[in-house]
Amino acid sequence: MENFLAHEEYRGIIYQLLSEAYKLPEEAEKEKQILEHLLELLPLVSIETKKLIEEMIGNMGKEEGLEKVRRDHLKLFVGPKTLLAPPYGSLYLEEKGQIMGPSTRDAVRFYQAAGLKKSDDFKEPPDHIRTELEFMSYLISEVVKDLSELKEKEDCNREEVLNKCEKFLELQEKFLQNHLGSWVRPFTQNLIKNGDTLYYQNLGKITEEFVRFEVMENLKQVKLEFEEIKRN
For 140, half-sphere exposure in the C-beta direction (CA atoms, 13 angstrom radius) is 27
Q: What pLDDT, on the 0 to 100 scale, is given for residue 64? A: 78
Q: Is 67 exposed, middle or buried (0-12, 13-18, 19+ CB in 10 A)?
A: exposed
In this prediction, residues 128-152 reach a mean pLDDT of 93
Split at pLDDT 50, 70, 90, the class of 117 is confident
pLDDT given for residue 45 in this prediction:
74
Model pTM?
Answer: 0.94
CA 74 to chain centre: 20
pLDDT at 155: 67
- Continuous H helices in the chain: 2-21, 28-41, 48-61, 65-73, 90-93, 102-113, 129-152, 158-175, 181-194, 198-213, 219-231
Q: How do residues 197-209 score in pLDDT, each as one tens digit?
A: 999 999 999 999 9
CA geometry: angle 213, 215, 221, nearest 5 deg = 80
The predicted pLDDT at position 122 comes to 67
How many other C-beta atoms lie within 10 A of the C-beta of residue 150? 18
pLDDT at 87: 96
Name 128's bridge partners. 88
Q: Answer yes or no: are the C-beta atoms of 49 and 209 closer than 8 Å.
A: yes
Say what the pLDDT of residue 60 is: 86
Read off the pLDDT of residues 10-49 as tens digits, 9 standing for 90 and up. 999 999 999 999 999 999 999 999 999 999 998 877 788 9
Task: Tell me the domain boundaries of the chain.
Answer: 2-231
Quick one: pLDDT band at residue 232, thresholds 50, 70, 90?
A: confident
> Looking at domain 2-231, which of 3.40.50.1000, 3.40.50.170, 1.10.3720.10, 1.10.3480.10 is its CATH number?
1.10.3480.10
Question: How wide is the angle at C-alpha 6 spanned by C-alphas 54 and 162, nearest 5°?
Answer: 140
Is the pLDDT assigned to residue 223 strictly greater than 80?
yes
